[in-house]
A and B are shown apart, each in its own frame.
Chain A
């Protein structure tokens, strides 16, 4: 009798455990919130999670876009719909928070492998592109789901059985049942900064300066690197950028050094500024060789010196974002016009 009770106990345990594992496993695989399973349900998959590193590969592979933005959070406020209307492209903004250059190139690589002839690639450039250790420190503390970025979709099955995927699959089900909203527009665009009505200049100044406001003055005399010093500088990510551009020769490349506040830029005239200028020069050389459009807002200017343009040292406000989009569009149109004129000559 006692043994029968224990037998029932074990049977119940095993049944519950297997039921839970198989049931949840099947749920995740069928809902497939990352759109990586070859045999999942044929349902519409919206972006119901803000984990950009996990959600964006499906956007890159979707075939719905012919152009892309990569970068960090400093590029995330660039609205693809404005580009689409102005330039006749289908653009996805796949910039990711705190993305290293290597991570940005991974999503670009997925996009490049999925789109036969990308029309336009906008690279929102930041400090990470000049990191001398970019090849050693390829990812951040957030981790990076490399398995999702390779060509093999079957190996992805090994990584799907976890709490967060179950939760995101549940959100997707909630979306289809009308219980949960889309978290990020399918083209990747999301206004992640607070609503403009909540803007508070004093608070923004505190965020920018971490204390009282200061003026940024140039170091005198400015540091000038010798030729030997410049040659010794390592910018592994810039080399990767060169390779990426070479791999998509028919694409219109736009390199944009994004406007962080002067408080987050190297002090003008300092050694750090000299190193960054050397990095920028190498990017400019790539741009010149490949007829890419180059914009540089990462300089002291009325835009980057005005506290009221920013939420914090890295993130400008939404109206500024639309100003930047207009400037990129104008630059892209200018290149197209120059090309057309050149062609007619």
Chain B
């Protein structure tokens, strides 16, 4: 489990490099990705299905990304994009194509629908994560501003 999380962190870090994330944010991105994987694995362990686990993991990722974006004064996309990739259903796309070629149509359909379900779970995870009002996160950002007097007076409200 610990090795798995470490690998997830490293993979997310690699994605952060691929997406040209600013250097000083690499670490936060990686932590977010690792966290997402932990939640995913824990949910699976406690008997949630793959789709529901994906939903919870994406929700966590989105919320953490928003908190980080308020604290670090960065767009939340920076933390979200790299982290979400550990959950993207790559294996689903592969198995769908593979079974289709092997002419096992029912298994191919099942895999295809599962892929869409996982994509849908990611969609809803992000939506629920984004549904919380921005003002809560701005307040969080303002807390850190007080420590640094040079920081922004008026947060622009962009996440």
Q: Is the pairing of A and B real?
A: no
Point out residues on B near A: beta carbons under 8 Å: none
